[in-house]
Amino acid sequence: MSKEDQVGWVVLFIGTPFMDGRYTDKERAVQVKDRMKDRYPNLRFEVAQVGGKFLVSDDIFWANHYEELDLLSNGRTYST
């Protein structure tokens, strides 16, 4: 099976454009989701299946936006 045919898993940060992933194992993505719920208790997360060509780009990768996520989780808004 080629990489394009393989499915993967991402963790969606609901209400934001951000996500984490791409995991080949769903259980690993669920573990990451649970850790994110501990880190950001006021945000919602979901695990979603993605196709083989899907990549998490820098503009939506959560770690590049952790300051904004910290503020959102604490009920504040982010402005640049």
Residue pair 36/11 in contact (Cβ under 8 Å)? The answer is yes
Tokens of 36: 């994110």
Summarize the confidence of residues 56-62 as an average pLDDT.
96
- Rounded alpha-carbon distances, angstroms, from residue 51 to 2, 16, 21: 12, 21, 12
pTM: 0.86
The 44-50 sheet, strands edge to edge: 19-23, 8-14, 44-50
Give me the pLDDT at residue 67, please.
93
Tokens of 62: 């959560």
Tokens of 40: 């950001």
Determine which of 18-32, 35-49, 63-77 has the lowest per-residue pLDDT on average.
63-77
Residue where the block lists tokens 């099976």: 1
Summarize the confidence of residues 21-29 as an average pLDDT.
95
Give me the pLDDT at residue 32, please.
98
How much is the mean pLDDT over the chain? 91
Give me the pLDDT at residue 78, please.
57
